[in-house]
Copies of this chain bind each other. A is one copy, B any other.
Amino acid sequence: MISFEDFAPGQVRQLGSVVVDRDEMVTFARRFDPQPFHLDEEAGKASIFGRLAASGWFTAGLWMRLYTDAILLRSDALGSPGGDEIAWPAPVFAGDELFASMEVIETRRSASKPWMGLVTLRAWMRRGAPDSDGTDSDDVVYRARFTGMYGSREQPRP
Is A143 within 8 A of B82, CB to CB?
Answer: yes
Distance to closest chain B CB from A46 (angstroms): 11
Q: Determine how many copies of this chain the complex contains.
A: 2
User: Could you say which of B31, B55, B88 contacts A81, with CB atoms under 8 Å apart?
Assistant: B88
Q: Are A68 and B34 in contact (CB under 8 A)?
A: yes
Interface segment out of the listed A3-11, A72-80, A93-101, A130-138: A72-80
Q: Does A89 contact B (CB under 8 A)?
A: yes
Contacts of A31 in B (CB 8 A): 61, 65
| A interface residues, tally (CB under 8 Å) | 38
A57 to B83, CA, bound (A): 12
Contacts of A34 in B (CB 8 A): 65, 68, 73
Please name all residues of chain B whose beta carbon is closer than 8 Å to the beta carbon of A33 when the two chains form the complex: 61, 64-65, 68
Q: Are A57 and B64 in contact (CB under 8 A)?
A: yes
Whether B80 lies near A88 (C-beta < 8 A) is yes
A72 to B48, CA, bound (A): 15
Within 8 A of B (CB), among A56-75: 56-57, 60-62, 64-65, 68, 72-73
Contact flag A35-B146 (CB < 8 Å), given A47-B78, A82-B85, A82-B88: no
